[in-house]
Amino acid sequence: MDKPIIELNHVSRAFQVKRNTYIKAVDNVSMRLKEGEIVCLVGESGCGKTTTGKMIVGLTRPTSGEVLYMGKDISQLNKEEWKRFRLGVQMVHQDPYASLNPSFTIYDTLAAPLRHHGFTSGDENTKKRVIELLEMVDLTPASEILDKYPHQLSGGQRQRVSVARALTVSPSVLVADEAVSMVDVSIRISLLNTLLKLKERMGLAVLFITHDLALAKYFAWEGRIGVMYLGRMVEINGARELVDNPQHPYTQALLSAIPEADPDITRQKRHVNLRSMDVPSLLHLPTGCTFHPRCPLWDADICEKVVPDLVNYRDGSQVACHIVARKREMDAR
Ligand SMILES: Nc1ncnc2c1ncn2[C@@H]1O[C@H](COP(=O)(O)OP(=O)(O)OP(=O)(O)O)[C@@H](O)[C@H]1O
């Protein structure tokens, strides 16, 4: 039960953007996802969340480091194991309009993978399972949805069809990439509730990728949140702990920027005076800690020179910050 289904060990991914010019979209990220666990990846646009998600589902290969599925490096899987991995770890994309075939009815959209992968046989059996799947994602009455085309559904309903399609192959991990960002807030929350129910019912592990820390907090309240900045993981902790006691100054800044009236967040809210509002380009990354040009705590002697490691602390938190490390060392004395 406690064994990770997915494990990233020091995973990096570079992309060539010009001749002889590469950016590191993901830099030395390590994390684990266990059965039935919820983990949210949070960070500003372009910080490497989607690339991390794509490496987890095997759509993008790491430039270095390893991705383990059930303890085995996915680059070493044989054909049969790779197929099991690709079915077991599913991704739900940002824009379901673009990812659903407009000429397929919802029934066809769900029946095709069921039949193709041999999960059902015969029309009756397939129809029963399609209805079951639609009900699982709260698209009811299912009979009224079956013959519709994607354009006849609302944005929220299309998102649910995308989730149902991912479930056709009975995965153990779902990577939901900003799956709710295209629809408005009440619908976003309702879809997150459906995902939480699926987690309970199926023991599904969910990695939810969002730039919205308030949403991550809502979704991952029983799970963990990982905060990314310019390709690196800067803090991972249980969602409650991370919101109640953010350690990394970037996490503090993200929390302080949440405008909504959220009592858990506003209670803890500290005003963070960033030294700069500009996010550096991945093409010209600052030396040392890449957050140092914006960080209110920065110490030129170390932060500009040395890349901070993500340190595991005894309370279960992981933080990559020289100043936090120094303070914790002093407190421990
Ligand atoms: N295939 C690619 N080729 C070149 N650069 C890429 C490619 N995929 C991603 N990138 C770059 O890598 C960086 C990280 O992108 P990524 O999509 O992982 O970030 P993100 O945090 O998910 O952003 P968003 O929230 O905007 O989706 C960005 O600068 C992006 O432009």
The mean pLDDT value for 121-148 works out to 95
Domain 4-103+170-245 class?
alpha beta
Is any ligand 1 atom within 6 A of the Cβ of residue 224?
A: no
Is any ligand 1 atom within 6 A of the Cβ of residue 51?
A: yes
Regarding pTM above 0.90, the answer is yes
Q: Locate CATH 3.40.50.300 in the chain.
A: 4-103+170-245
Nearest Cα residue to atom 4 of ligand 1: 15
Cα 48 to ligand 1 centroid, rounded to whole Å: 6
Summary mean pLDDT of the chain:
91
Q: Using an 8 Å Cβ cutoff, are 69 and 61 in contact? A: no
Pairwise CA distance, residues 108 & 115, whole Å: 10
Is any ligand 1 atom within 6 A of the Cβ of residue 157?
A: no
pLDDT tops 70 at residue 196: yes
Residue 186: pLDDT band (50, 70, 90) is confident
Is any ligand 1 atom within 6 A of the Cβ of residue 225?
A: no
Cα 265 to ligand 1 centroid, rounded to whole Å: 29
pLDDT-above-70 percentage for the chain? 93
Is any ligand 1 atom within 6 A of the Cβ of residue 204?
A: no
pLDDT tops 60 at residue 268: no
Weakest mean pLDDT among 2-6, 7-11, 49-53, 227-231:
2-6
Residue 93's pLDDT is 78
Nearest Cα residue to atom 11 of ligand 1: 25
Residues 6+ apart with CB under 8 A from 256: 269, 270, 271, 272
Cα 228 to ligand 1 centroid, rounded to whole Å: 13
- In 10 A of CB 170, how many CB atoms? 14
From the CA of 48, give the closest atom in ligand 1. Answer: 18
- DSSP secondary structure, 57-106, as one string: TTSS--SEEEEEETTEEGGG--HHHHHHHHHHEEEE-S-HHHHS-TTS-H
Pairwise CA distance, residues 286 & 55, whole Å: 25
Cα 51 to ligand 1 centroid, rounded to whole Å: 6
Q: Is the ipTM of this complex over 0.95?
A: yes
102 φ, ψ to 5°?
-65, -20
Residues 6+ apart with CB under 8 A from 306: 288, 289, 322
Cα 49 to ligand 1 centroid, rounded to whole Å: 8
Best probe residue, ligand 1, of 8, 12, 13, 15 (max atoms within 8 Å of C-beta): 15
Nearest Cα residue to atom 30 of ligand 1: 46
Sequence letter at residue 170: S
